[in-house]
Amino acid sequence: MLALENVDIFHGRIHAVRRVSLHVEAGEIVALIGANGAGKTTLLGAVSGLVRVGGGRILHKGDEIQAFSPDAVVRRGVSQVPERRLVFGPLSVEDNLLLGAYTRRGRAHKAAVAADREAVYEMFPVLRDRKKQAAGTLSGGEQQMLAIGRALMARPSVLLLDEPGMGLAPAVCKEIFKHIVKLRDERGLTVLLVEQNAKSALAVADRGYVLETGRIMLQGPSDELLANRDVQRAYLGRERDAT
């Protein structure tokens, strides 16, 4: 569904991402974990068309998209939920959702957009209760739900999530991750999840990659990464006994 092949990204003279290769199969949740500055958000930006690629290929359903504009990427079926949510604060919840469907304008899409909006409200009932409220007045958790709902309004086949648990209380973060699993299990959505909270990410993911200073250092099934002593030491804050 999504693949990166030997991707290089430069920020000026800085080689920020070095020959990164990864793939996400249809219906998978794949976690990309790593410390701040590792290049995780940069990689998502490259997939979304927000960051130019200096080398390598990005493929969606087998077609190269690394030269696409951000709106063309969305039209293809790849939507991103950005870091820190970035909702349109002065606009209502409902208007934020409708903006998520901006690639589906016109009478031909009106009924489908309305149905998708209702599906978002069913997934996040609190948004229905707040649909006329300014998005900037929502709590952090509610804004994260809105950001996810906005991305879903584009009817993506691939959802890119950048730090969905950032700044949220543990209980709210747990609820958000439950919804991510539901999107895979109930809608068959493919998810690439960037998250600094490695434990939460790997707990819901099928597979994972560890990114360090722009390079993939480890990869494998989530349970194997959770059991890996290097991952535990660096990202989980603990180290198991040698036994």
Q: Where are the domains of the chain?
A: 2-236
Q: Which CATH number is 2-236 given?
A: 3.40.50.300
Query: Which tens digit of pLDDT belongs to each residue from 183-239?
Result: 999 999 999 999 888 899 999 999 999 999 999 999 999 999 999 998 888 887 654
Distance CA 183, CA 191 (A): 9
User: Contact, 78 vs 2, CB < 8 A?
Assistant: yes
pTM: 0.92
**Res 184: pLDDT:** 94
Q: pLDDT tens digit string along 132-162?
A: 999 999 999 999 999 999 999 999 999 999 9
Residue 195 CB partners (closer than 8 Å, separation 6+): 31, 32, 33, 161, 163, 164, 165, 201
The residues with which 22 forms a beta bridge, in sequence order, are 4
